[in-house]
């Protein structure tokens, strides 16, 4: 890999590791210092490598520079404290050997995992948790985070600043919770990873590469939980299974023109068989104990979505899974998806009755579903529903899909 491509690549893979270790060493009071030291390390790499060429071991070079900068900071901090409070001089000199910065693989992994729990603390808003996770745990730049959230850099900077202040105010520690409370805290961590993945998978951003990276980062964080004996719990495996199944169809969800492709119209040869296999493995791993989470049910539904057959048995299974999911955690989208499964299992007339009970009049997906259900039964009603859906649709992609439905209904060539 050439120098121009190498540094951005290393920034994405190593920035988060160095920041996590330095934050753990300094504490959240010096979070910005940890970020500055890490950023300065990469800036120096740009300058030195541009003049002298890439060193034989670029990662070791980065770690050495970051360690030295961190030690200098700690030394300056100790000198300052000693001058302000001379009585503590002996004590601070005694702590000098502890200035070693541990960038071993084990400490990097431990620090990232501990940081994950700290950033996903319930005191921090879900939006801020995602933003901080993207910045600190995933190494995303401010512009990338703004693009992911479809907002501007100023908004993201303010959001991250408030979140960091909250971390300091609440005196949140960078550590794993105790065994007795880890299950409860794990809920917040999984919710953040789930939202991070959804931000990529369902985002209306046109940046497909960024969206895919969001999904991959969410899966990487979940892998870290699976690999730790204290956090390798059934819901964690279930969420990782869900993300594997969903990601397996990523390439088939958009055509060459960048337009979304509906499930029924996807080229199944583009589905990733390796990810489907891994999804099945983690779904099997999740089937221990007596805990049934929403991630278990959504992963099971996603599993059936990777089965290419279109049998009634498939859709009956999906329908029953949606029934249980709605009992655990109701959501309008899950209710709509259940109604679609009902149409496949029992026929459109039964599904129309159930769909109209939902009465989600401000939701374009609701009218799109009604248009699909009425197609072939009452095409006039179907078209009215599609037109209503068009008026409510928020993205070009959704409008493209709905117009194709109308064109098929009216016999136009698509």
Give the integer Cα–Cα distance in Å for 274 and 219.
14
Is residue 206 classed exposed, middle or buried when 0-12, 13-18 and 19+ CB atoms within 10 A define those classes? middle
pLDDT truncated to tens, each residue of the chain (414 aa)?
556 679 988 998 999 999 999 999 999 999 999 999 999 999 999 999 999 999 999 999 999 999 999 999 998 888 777 666 555 545 544 444 457 899 999 999 999 999 999 999 988 888 889 999 999 999 888 888 888 887 899 999 999 999 999 999 999 999 999 888 898 899 999 999 999 999 888 876 667 777 888 899 999 999 999 999 999 999 999 999 999 999 999 989 888 777 778 888 889 999 999 999 999 999 999 998 888 999 999 999 999 999 988 888 999 999 999 999 999 999 999 999 999 999 999 999 999 999 999 999 999 999 999 999 999 999 999 999 999 999 999 888 889 889 989 988 887 544
Residue matched to tokens 């100023």: 154
Q: Is 260 helix (H, G, I), strand (E, B) or coil?
A: strand
Residue matched to tokens 């969420």: 239
Structural domain spans, the chain: 16-102
What are the tokens at 9? 């690549």
Contact status, residue 183 vs residue 233, Cβ threshold 8 Å: yes
- In which region does residue 359 sit, left (phi positive, over 0), alpha (psi from -120 to 50) or beta (all else)? left
Give the integer Cα–Cα distance in Å for 102 and 63.
10
Position 97 scores a pLDDT of: 45
Q: Where are the alpha helices (DSSP H) in 329-395?
A: 332-346, 348-358, 364-374, 379-392
| Angle, CA 114 vertex, CA 108 and CA 118 arms, to 5° | 135
Contact status, residue 212 vs residue 254, Cβ threshold 8 Å: no
Position 414 scores a pLDDT of: 44
Give the integer Cα–Cα distance in Å for 267 and 273.
13
Q: What share of the chain is helix, strand, coil (3-state, %, to 5)?
A: 75, 0, 25
Q: How many CB atoms lie within 10 A of CB 372?
A: 22
What are the tokens at 175? 């550590």
Give the integer Cα–Cα distance in Å for 216 and 196.
10
Give the integer Cα–Cα distance in Å for 103 and 19.
10
Nearest to 278 by CA among 248, 252, 307, 258: 248
**In angstroms, what is the C-alpha Rg of the chain?**
25
Give the integer Cα–Cα distance in Å for 263 and 344.
13
Residue matched to tokens 């939701």: 363
Is residue 84 classed exposed, middle or buried when 0-12, 13-18 and 19+ CB atoms within 10 A define those classes? exposed
Per-residue pLDDT reduced to its tens digit, 142-168: 888 888 887 899 999 999 999 999 999
């Amino acid at each position: 890999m050439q120098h121009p491509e190498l540094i951005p690549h290393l920034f994405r893979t190593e920035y988060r590791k160095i920041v996590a270790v330095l934050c753990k060493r300094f504490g959240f009071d010096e979070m910005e210092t940890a970020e500055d030291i890490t950023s300065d390390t990469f800036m120096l790499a740009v300058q030195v490598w541009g003049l002298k060429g890439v060193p034989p071991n670029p990662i070791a070079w980065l770690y050495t520079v970051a360690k030295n900068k961190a030690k200098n900071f700690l030394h300056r901090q100790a000198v300052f404290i000693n001058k302000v409070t001379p009585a503590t001089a002996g004590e601070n000199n005694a702590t000098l050997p502890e200035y070693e910065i541990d960038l071993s693989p084990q400490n990097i992994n431990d620090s990232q995992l501990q940081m994950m729990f700290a950033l996903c603390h319930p005191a921090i808003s879900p939006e801020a948790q995602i933003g901080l996770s993207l910045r600190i745990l995933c190494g995303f730049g401010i512009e990338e985070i703004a693009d992911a959230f479809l907002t501007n850099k100023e908004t993201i900077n303010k959001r991250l600043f408030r979140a960091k202040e909250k971390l300091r105010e609440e005196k949140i520690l960078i550590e794993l919770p105790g065994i007795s409370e880890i299950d409860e805290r794990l809920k917040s961590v999984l919710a953040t990873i789930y939202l991070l993945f959804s931000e990529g998978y369902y985002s209306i951003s046109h940046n497909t590469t960024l969206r895919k990276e969001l999904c991959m980062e969410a899966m990487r964080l979940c892998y870290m939980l699976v690999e730790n004996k204290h956090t390798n719990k059934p819901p964690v495996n279930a969420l990782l299974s869900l993300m594997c199944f969903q990601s397996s169809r990523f390439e088939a969800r958009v055509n060459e023109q960048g337009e979304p492709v509906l499930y029924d119209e996807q080229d199944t040869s583009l589905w990733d068989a390796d990810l489907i296999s891994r999804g099945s493995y983690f779904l099997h791993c999740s089937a221990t104990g007596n805990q049934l989470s929403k991630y278990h049910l959504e992963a099971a539904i996603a599993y059936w979505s990777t089965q290419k057959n279109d049998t009634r048995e498939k859709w009956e299974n999906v329908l029953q899974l949606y029934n249980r999911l709605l009992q655990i955690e109701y959501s309008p989208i899950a209710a709509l998806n259940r109604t679609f499964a009902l149409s496949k299992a029992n026929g459109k007339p039964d599904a129309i009755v159930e769909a109209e009970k939902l009465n989600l009049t401000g939701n374009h997906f609701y009218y799109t579903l009604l248009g699909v259900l009425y197609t072939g039964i009452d095409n006039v009603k179907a078209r009215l529903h599609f037109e209503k859906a068009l008026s409510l649709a928020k993205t070009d992609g959704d409008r493209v899909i709905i117009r194709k439905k109308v064109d098929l209904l009216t016999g136009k060539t698509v």
